[in-house]
Amino acid sequence: MKRSRRTLQEIISDSILGRTKLRGKITVANLLITLAVVLIMGIYIYLRIQAASQQLINSVETNAQIKAEDDLYTTTREQAVLLDSFFENMSRNTVIAGASIESILSNQELSSSTYWDANTALTQLPSGSWDNANEEIPSIFIPTGVNFSPVFTSKLNRLKHSELIFPSILEGNPDIVAIYFGGSTKETYYYPNIDLANIVPADFDVTGRQWYISAKPENNPNKLVIWSAPYEDAALNGLVITASTPVYDDNQRFQGVTAMDIQITRLIKLVSNAKIGETGYAFLLDNSNRVISLPPTGAMDFGITDENALLSEIIDPAALSSATPEFYDLLEKVSQEPEGIFTLTIGNKEKKIAFYTITQVNYKLISILPAEEIFADKTAISEQIQGETRTTVLFSILLVVAVFAFAALITFRVSNNLTEPLSTLNNAATEIIHGNFNTRIQLNSGDELETLSSTLNTMTDTIKDLVSSLEDRVSERTQKLEQVILEGERSKSQYEAIAKVARAITTQKSLTELLPEITRVISEQFNFYHVGIFLNDPTNSYAVLAAANSEGGRRMLNRRHQLRIGAQGIVGYVTSRKKARIALSVGKDAVFFNNPDLPDTQSEVALPLLEADTVLGALDVQSTEPNAFTDKDLEALTILAELVGIAIQNARLYEKMDRSLAEAEAASRQYFRENWNRLTNEYKVAGYSYTARGAQIITNTEEQEKIASQKEVVVPISIRGEEIGELSISIPETEKIKADQMDLIRAVADRVAVIAENARLFDETTRRAERERLVTDITTKIRTTNDPQTMIETAINELREALKISRIEIVSKKKKLPD
């Protein structure tokens, strides 16, 4: 039984409530009671109001849907009427332009040439067509084959008066790109002047254009304004539509067609920018069921992914490679009625679609709005009603909560008075934990808590003393550690300098590049403002500055600064006595040389550069601070001086080796040239000529020059950089050598060089072997006797026979004895 009760206590202790403070436990108990009451009251009020509010919401939903659909239809109709008024205005302008031409053609008084004479103003081009000056207002074009009769000339003169009317129409209507008249006799008047003769072919027949054919009497007996299908203008004017109307004279004889190119880019922007709800959009459908200005959202809805279609303002459904079935359903429904509104499911989402006909051009404006936006107002009203319901419920609950909150407040105040001394002790302990050892607890309760507060105050004083002592020891050790770290950093910099100098020595062989690099590295790593390297001259009389890193040092280099060894400055002292010298304060050093190029020097050290026991020069380091050089600096600089000495000796050895190698190479080339000259003289052959008839030896210089005068491609035959001949190729004068042929010629020349050299080496080896054999034979015969006279005779006979000569003499030479 006890075991069961102890386990329950453990469970309570491990819970959040068990770990809560006493004041919190009392407060939580009261809040739980209050919360239970509020929940019961809220559920009751909510159930009572929910039924009434649902009925109101249903009624509002129906009215909101009807209003939203009506707004969508009204917006579409208003936009369509606005577009229709634009096309109506363009239609009136087209009629005005046509009527102006009819009036001009009917006025015979305008036929005179006093205003403008076609016979003199028009120029026939080489192609046979006729053109007017580019400075005139209209562009006039007459194709080849047109007969300039007096009647035709009179018509042209009258039509020229159209320039008094058409420019004002263009100026007053910026959407009109061009106005033009095509006559039944094939003449064209085009505003503005675009030099039409240089754009169209010479036989351009305006009566064959579609806008002309559509407006002719047989196709347009009612003399209506005919609208073309929209198209992309080749002159980059965007989307253009052409309106045309027939022209008759006063005798009702057909004279031609007046037309206008109208830019509808502004209309497309108007449609694209139409406000259709929040996410809705609109587009046009022309009389051929082609889609105009479909926005990206629409293309996504209908699954149109064809790149050509997406890049164009006009989409032909018949040419689409991909589109959803809903797209074609929409086109079919819209084509059946002049106006209306219906619902269509697109991509698993309902869409409200309203459409209205633009009567002037028989286009249709289509607006699409997601159904979820149609119900947006309904949802808002529903949420408003539900919100009011929740507000009422909450207000009622708050009234109940207020009563219980008052009781909870009284309970909280009582528990706070009971636990306040404990809170004071807890806060003081927290301060002590965070390092505030000046905290003091003041309790006058007269019970155990007051005793506990005194004990905590005593413990705080003890801890404060221990911490203070520990901080002093930590501070002292920290300073020592920082000093060690600084020394380590300086040592690291010095070792890096030594490593960099050693690396430079291994990579650089030239003193002119090595010594400046060494001065730069030492200056950067040791932070000394001037580092110089002096080298003794050949007579060991002067130490000459060879490299320096500072500005003053570079000036000294330019004037070839030098110091007399053993007589001038610290450098002169070091180079004469072969030991380092340091001036921690240059003003107190009698040996110091006051250099005007280095006025900021406060301390200086110079170290000899030695190779064995020979002084090569000195390493001079100067600082702007007095006492700048430590013992470790001197150790590092001494190592660097030794390295520099080794580097100087190595560089000089490299230079000596390079000179010896150059002399050996020169001797080898001389020997090589002499061998080839000997072979040329022995064989008496100037070269070889290879033709279709075979190989031919060139034996004299004239023949060689004759062949050389015929060559066009010459490639040298070289061995080890020495040219031993040339390979010349004769080619026909009409042909040019190709790159691959040239590569082949060079490859053959290289192969000839290798073969020739091998032959020369073989010949030389053979000669040497023959000479050794001959010497051996003669020596063997001489050794067959011990008589000197016989030895001499044998030697003479063998040499005469071997060299093929008639006379050999051996003359003895008496050696002159010294006095």
Of the pLDDT bands very low, low, confident and very high (cuts 50, 70, 90), residue 4 is: very low
User: What burial letters (b/e) apply to 606-628, b meaning 16+ CB within 10 Å?
Assistant: bbbbbeeeebbbbbbbbbeeeeb
| pLDDT confidence band for 61 (50 / 70 / 90) | low
Q: Residue 332 pLDDT > 60, yes or no?
A: yes
pLDDT digits (tens, 9 = 90+) for 388-430: 666 766 766 676 667 667 666 776 666 666 566 667 767 777 7
Average pLDDT over all residues of the chain: 79
767: confidence class by pLDDT, cuts 50, 70, 90:
confident
DSSP, collapsed to helix, strand or coil, labels residue 527 as coil
Q: In whole angstroms, how far apart are CA 177 and each of 30, 113, 243, 270, 462? A: 84, 30, 12, 19, 99
> Which pLDDT does position 640 carry in this prediction?
82
- Is the pLDDT at 204 greater than 90? The verdict is yes
Cβ contact 292:230 at 8 Å: yes
Average the pLDDT over each of 41-50, 424-433, 610-619, 756-765 and give the range with the smallest value.
Answer: 41-50
pLDDT confidence of residue 480: 66
In this chain, the answer to whether the domains covering 107-259 and 490-658 adopt an identical fold is yes
- The pLDDT score that the predictor gives to residue 215 is 94
Give residue 816's pLDDT: 55
pLDDT, position 483: 64
Q: At residue 504, does pLDDT exceed 50?
A: yes
pLDDT at 753: 78
Domain chopping of the chain, boundaries:
107-259, 268-374, 490-658, 684-780
C-alpha distances out from residue 242 to 189, 259, 733, Å? 16, 7, 65
Cα separations (Å) of 376 from 19, 354, 384? 50, 18, 12
pLDDT (0 to 100) of residue 391: 73
Residue 12, pLDDT > 60, answer no
Contacts of 376 (CB under 8 A, 6+ apart): 68, 278
- 107-259 has which CATH code? 3.30.450.20
Residue-wise pLDDT for 537-553, tens only, equals 888 888 898 899 888 88
Residue 803 has pLDDT above 90, yes or no: no
**Rg of the chain taking only CA atoms, in angstroms:** 57
pLDDT tens-digit map of 640-659: 888 888 888 887 788 788 88
Cα dist from 520 to 500, 504, 517, 533, whole Å: 10, 11, 5, 11
Sign of CA dihedral 582, 587, 592, 594: positive
- Rounded CA-CA distance 652/803 in Å is 51
pLDDT band per the 50, 70, 90 thresholds, residue 2 = very low
pLDDT on residue 188:
94
Task: Give the integer Cα–Cα distance in Å for 763 and 816.
Answer: 44
Q: Which residues contact 68 (CB under 8 A, 6 or more apart)?
A: 352, 373, 374, 375, 376, 377
Check whether 379 has a pLDDT greater than 70: no
Beta strand 188-191 pairing with 226-227:
unpaired
Burial class (CB in 10 A: 0-12, 13-18, 19+), 662: exposed
Lookup: tokens for 118: 């076609």
Structure tokens at 595: 């250099």
- Per-residue pLDDT, 1: 41
> Do residues 26 and 415 touch, judged by C-beta distance below 8 A?
yes
Whether 526 contacts 621, CB under 8 Å = yes
Of 491, 419, 408, 409, nearest in space to 449 by CA: 419
| 436-451: average pLDDT | 69
For the residues 335-352, what does the mean pLDDT come to?
Answer: 87
What's the pLDDT at 129? 93
DSSP letter (8 states) at residue 163: G
User: In this structure, what token pair is assigned to residue 374?
Assistant: 């149609």
Least confident of 101-105, 143-147, 565-569, 571-575: 565-569
Does domain 490-658 match CATH 1.10.10.60?
A: no
- In the structure encoding, which two tokens stand for residue 126, read together? 């080489």
Give yes or no for a contact between 183 and 206, defined as CB atoms under 8 angstroms apart: yes
Please give the model's pTM, rounded to 2 decimal places.
0.44
Q: Would you state the pLDDT for residue 707?
A: 52
Burial of 556 (0-12, 13-18, 19+ CB in 10 A): buried
Query: Quick one: pLDDT at residue 808?
Result: 77
- Containing 154, the helix (H) or strand (E) segment is helix 150-159
Q: Taking Cα atoms as reference points, which of 356, 184, 153, 162 lies closest to residue 260?
A: 162
C-alpha dihedral over 754, 756, 760, 761, to 10 degrees?
Answer: 20
Bigger pLDDT: 119 or 373? 119
pLDDT of residue 178: 93
Average pLDDT (129-135) is: 93
Give 189-199 pLDDT, tens digit per residue: 999 999 999 99
> Range with the lowest mean pLDDT among 239-248, 448-457, 597-606?
448-457
Structure tokens at 452: 């506990």
How far is Cα 351 from Cα 323, in angstroms, rounded to an integer?
17
Sheet-wide strand order for 542-548: 562-564, 542-548, 530-536, 614-623, 603-611, 581-583
Q: What is the pLDDT of residue 311?
A: 76
Residues in the chain: 819
pLDDT digits (tens, 9 = 90+) for 67-103: 778 888 888 898 889 889 999 999 999 999 999 999 9
pLDDT at 51: 66
Into which CATH architecture does domain 268-374 fall? 2-Layer Sandwich (3.30)
Name the band, by pLDDT with cuts 50, 70 and 90, for residue 227: very high
